[in-house]
Structure 1
Amino acid sequence: EGAGLDYHSYAIGLEEISRGSGGLGTVVAAHTSLAGNMLYEFGDETQKEAYLTALNTGEEIGAFALSEAEAGSDVPA
């Protein structure tokens, strides 16, 4: 699927992106791993049809939101 890369190749590519910009590496990881891959692995067909094409073409950007009653948006807390 997609570029046909295995996870090892993906990790190497992400590491190289992050070498140039840690922020961009984080955005790429959130888009591909936290949004796209979760939909691909666990989404039902309706969700996949609604979101994966838009994510893969760049029409939409995947994100990750975190909120915890005791930590707010401070992920390390």
Structure 2
Amino acid sequence: MRLRAVIDRIEGDFAVLEVDFEGQCYYVDWPARLLPPGAGPGSWLSITLERDLAGEEASRERIKELLQRLKKWNQ
């Protein structure tokens, strides 16, 4: 999913992004240090969101291993 956002303002260490999605306006606080170089109030950003399937699988495996260790510890 690709979204567009404009940097509304900078408040301390955070940028307030105005994101328009399907006609609804959302405000998101974003760490200013993670903005692209030179971006500031009025700058437009392109944001891409996608699932990290490999990360999800790694998390499931890690949880599975932890549960197995807990079961062995409780026996």
Normalised-by-shorter TM-score class: under 0.3
| Greater length-normalized contact order (CA 8 Å, ≥ 6 residues apart) | 2
Length-normalised TM-score, structure 1? 0.27
Length-normalised TM-score, structure 2? 0.28
More helix by share: 1
